[in-house]
Amino acid sequence: MPKSDPLQSESAKRPSAEQFIPVKNLSTGDKPTQKSSGQIHFREQKGYFQRLRTTMNSLLILLFFTLPFISFDGRQAILLDVQQQQFFFFNLTLWPQDFTLLAWVFIAAAFGLFFITVFWGRVWCGYLCPQTAWTFMFVWLENRIEGNSNKRKLLDKAPWSANKLGKRTLKHSLWGLAALITGCGFISYFIPARELYLEIFTGNAGFWSTCWVWFFAICTYLNAGWMREQMCLHCCPYARFQAVMFDANTKTVTYDVARGETRGPRKRKQETQLGDCVDCNLCVEVCPTGIDIRQGLQYECINCGACVDACNETMQKFDYQQNLISYVSENELKGIAHSNWRSPRFLGYGTAVVIMLIVIAIDLSNRSEIQLNVIRDRQSLYRETADNRVENTYQLKIRNKTQQTKQYQLAVNSEMPFSLIAAPVITLAAGEQADYPVTVLADKDAIPAGRKIIEFSVTDISEPRQSVSQETGFFSP
C-alpha cells in the first residue's frame, strides 16, 4: 500500500477559509489618552470648578497646618499625647477608654461620605481628598519651575544639560521642603507644634520625633511628587467600591453622547452635520488621572471638574451651548424626572448618619469625667481587731479626666453599718491619677458572716452629677 504523505494529511486536517473566525481590526479613531505615554503631565485649567477646587484644597491645607498652633487654656488645643495617653480637643479630654467615641465619629464620617456620594459621586476625591490637594500643590510648583505640560514633556525627552539639571534640582528641592513641612505638620498633632518645628529645623529634635517626621515627609514626597494618580488608580479602596453607591440619579462628571457625537474638528461658525464635540482633546489633557471622559463613566475619574471647565471654554469659543461635559445624572440625560429623596440609598445612608450622630450624643452625655478602679488587698481577706471589729483594705485608683483641678467626696455605700477609714475628700490636679488606700471597718456582731457586697462612690463636689461607683466584696469570719 502506498504511504500517505504527512504534509497532505496535515493539510487535510486544517480548516478551510470558511471555518476560520473572521478577525477585524477595529480602530476607534480616538486620540490616545495620557496614560498611554506613561507619566501624566496634565495641563493647568481655569474655570469655575477649578476655582472651587483650589479654594477648598487651600482651606484644607491651611487648616491642616494652622490647627496645631491654636492654643486653649495655655496649651495646644488639639493634641494627641501618646506618651500621657490623652487626646485633647479644646475643653474635651479623651482617654484610651473613651476612644469608642472616636470610633463612632469615624463611622459617622464614613456614612456621611456615602450619603454625599449618592448625590454627587466622587466629589470627595476631587475637592477634599488630601492626596488630590497635595498633588495639585506639587504640580503647581512643577509648573512654576518647568513650565506648562508641553514644556514638561519636552524636558522629559531632552538630554541632560545644565538647564535641565538646574530645573530638576530646584523642583525636587522645593518638593522636599514642602514634604518636610508636611511631615512636621502631621507629627505636630502628636507633639506640641511650636517645639517640634523649632527642634526639627535646628537639628535638636529627638531620635523618634525625627524618624516619624522624615517618614511622613518621604511618604508625602513619593505620593504627591511621583505616584500622584497611581494612588487614585491602584491604591485607594474608595475608587473600587464607590460604584456600588451610585444609581441613575447620582450626579457625576458625564459626557453628553447624544449631543456631542459624531465628534470631529471644524472651523468656528462653520456649518456642519457633526456633533458639538470638536475633538480638541482638552478634556484628556487637563485630566489629572489621564482618562477620556467621552468613553463613559470610569472608576479613575475623581470628579474634579477640570474637563468640565476645559470643555465649557471650548464651547464658548465656538458659540455652542455650555455643559457638553457637566455634573449630570443618567436620568437627567434621558429627560426622566427623578428624586433622590425617595431612593433606598438616600434613606439608608441618611438613617445611618442620624443614628450615628445620636449614638455620639448619648456617648458624650454619658461620658464620666472620673475614673475609678477598686483593688482589694491581696495579702488577706480580712483582719480582726482587738475591739471585736473586722476590717478590709482596698486600693482606690482615682483619675481626674478633666482639664481642671477637682475635689472629690469618697463614700462607701451599703445597707449595713460600714465605716470608711480614710480622708473623705481628695484633691486631684487635671489629668492626675491617685492610688488612694482606704480601710472599711464594721462591728463583727452587726454584719453576717461571709462575703457582703459594698459600693465605693466618688463624687465631684463642685458638680455632683459627675459621680462614679464600683462594687466590691467585704469579707468577715
CATH of the domain at 456: 2.60.40.10
pLDDT digit string, tens, across residues 413-424: 888 889 888 888
**Average pLDDT for 186-215:** 95
**Out of 145-159, 196-210, 340-354, 431-445, which region has the weakest mean confidence (pLDDT)?**
340-354
**Average pLDDT for 445-463:** 90
**Mean model confidence pLDDT for the chain:** 87
At which of 367, 402, 421 does a domain end? 367
pLDDT of residue 85: 84
Share of the chain above pLDDT 70, in %: 92
pLDDT of residue 21: 41
CA angle 48, 125, 342 (to 5 degrees): 90
pLDDT of residue 24: 41
Residue 23 domain-assigned? no
Residue 270 domain-assigned? yes
Residue 211 domain-assigned? yes
Q: How many CA atoms lie within 13 A of 65 on its CB side?
A: 14
pLDDT interval class at 399 (50, 70, 90): very high
Shared domain for 350 and 379, answered yes or no, is no
**Average pLDDT for 212-232:** 94
Task: Of 419, 322, 431, give the one whose Cα is nearest residue 75.
Answer: 431
Shared domain for 360 and 392, answered yes or no, is no
Residue 206 domain-assigned? yes
Shared domain for 246 and 288, answered yes or no, is yes
Total count of domains within the chain? 2
CA angle 354, 356, 362 (to 5 degrees): 105
pLDDT at 239 over 80: no
Task: Of 265, 266, 262, give the one whose Cα is nearest residue 275.
Answer: 262
**Average pLDDT for 44-59:** 95
Shared domain for 321 and 417, answered yes or no, is no
Shared domain for 239 and 328, answered yes or no, is yes
Residue 7 domain-assigned? no
Residue 69 domain-assigned? yes
| CB-based contacts of 128, cutoff 8 Å, min separation 6 | 56, 57, 60
Shared domain for 338 and 410, answered yes or no, is no
At which of 367, 392, 426 does a domain end? 367
**Average pLDDT for 337-351:** 78
Shared domain for 80 and 93, answered yes or no, is yes
pLDDT of residue 477: 84
Instruction: Find which of 176-190, 318-332, 373-387 is predicted with most confidence, using mean pLDDT.
Output: 176-190
pLDDT at 317 over 70: yes
pLDDT of residue 340: 67
pLDDT at 37 over 60: no
Shared domain for 339 and 381, answered yes or no, is no
pLDDT of residue 379: 82
pLDDT of residue 35: 52
The pTM of the full predicted model, rounded to 2 decimals, is 0.81
pLDDT of residue 34: 58
Residue 9 domain-assigned? no
- Note down the domain range covering 51: 29-367
pLDDT at 29 over 80: no
pLDDT of residue 33: 56
**Average pLDDT for 322-332:** 92
Share of the chain above pLDDT 90, in %: 58
Shared domain for 233 and 338, answered yes or no, is yes
pLDDT of residue 302: 92
pLDDT interval class at 331 (50, 70, 90): confident
Amino acid letter, residue 249: N
pLDDT of residue 36: 47
Shared domain for 294 and 394, answered yes or no, is no
Shared domain for 447 and 307, answered yes or no, is no
Amino acid letter, residue 252: T
At which of 320, 348, 367 does a domain end? 367
**Average pLDDT for 228-253:** 84
pLDDT digit string, tens, across residues 98-145: 888 888 999 999 999 888 888 888 889 999 999 999 999 999 999 999
**Average pLDDT for 213-227:** 96
